[in-house]
Amino acid sequence: MRHISDSHLAALPQPLTGVVLAGGRGSRLGGRDKGLLVKDGQAFVAHIVSALTPQVDDCLINANRHIDEYQHFGPVISDELAEFQGPLAGMLAAMRHCRAGWIVTLPCDGIEVADDYVARLARALANSGQPIAVAHDGQRLQPVHALIPCHLQASLEAFLATGDRKIDRWYAAEGFAQADFSDCPEIFRNINTPEQQREFKAE
């Protein structure tokens, strides 16, 4: 259960469910599942769940492969749309399964989670009047790092029904606030290639 005292976070009307998005093909890593890569003796997903759990009420893992392995780290939900349709499909699956009023998302290779990750998103949301908060690293938007109300489920279903999978377009259609993470851009480092994985392990 979360134990954050941030007043903006407390102002949210419903509980929060953390969602680790691990539903991709891993095509740029030769099919390897990024969430199950290992750093310091633990799977990436384990690092993320450990860091996110104190900031939310519960956690879900969105995965479409290696379900048995992911279940060691928490409840797993899979996309209800076929053919690995991207992070929006994972967000929709989470909205359909969680009991909370909000989801807060992270990619499965984002293991450097800020202690105030959720609080920053909540603060940006409260200060803006927008329905969604999305992290910004000081140079660009980080769209899979987001705080989203579950009442937008119908909107997301309609958007995906058009065949569009561009996460930025859905955010723009609904309106969103940018949460400032410019002081810690390193938390948004992605691991998409074997070379990046080797560099990460070498640190």
28 belongs to a structural domain: yes
79 vs 82, 138, 176, CA distance in Å?
7, 31, 24
Whether residue 122 is contained in a domain is answered as yes
Q: Is the pLDDT of residue 149 over 80?
A: yes
Is 80 a member of any domain? yes
Write the pLDDT tens digit of every residue in 173-183. 999 999 999 99
Pick 189 or 178 by higher pLDDT.
178
Q: Please check the confidence at residue 83 and state whether its pLDDT lies above 60.
A: yes
Percent of the chain with pLDDT over 90: 63
Judged against a pLDDT cut of 50, whether residue 84 lies above it is answered with: yes
Q: Indicate whether 1 belongs to any domain.
A: no
Whether 191 is covered by a domain: the verdict is yes
Contact in structure between 123 and 8 (CB atoms under 8 Å): yes
Between 88 and 2, the higher pLDDT residue: 88
CATH code for the domain in which residue 131 is found: 3.90.550.10
Residue 74 lies in a domain: yes
Owning domain of residue 77: 7-202
Q: Is residue 2 part of a domain?
A: no
The token pair that represents 25 in the structure block:
């093909």
The closest alpha carbon to 121, from 143, 153, 99, 96, belongs to 143
The overall average pLDDT reported for the chain is 85
Instruction: Count up the domains in the chain and report the number.
Output: 1
Q: Which residue has the tokens 């104190």?
A: 54
In a domain, 148, yes or no: yes
Please give the model's pTM, rounded to 2 decimal places. Answer: 0.87
In terms of average pLDDT, the best of 3-12, 32-41, 78-87, 161-170 is 161-170
Tens of pLDDT, residue by residue over 86-100, are: 899 999 999 999 877
Cβ atoms of 141 and 168 within 8 Å: the answer is yes
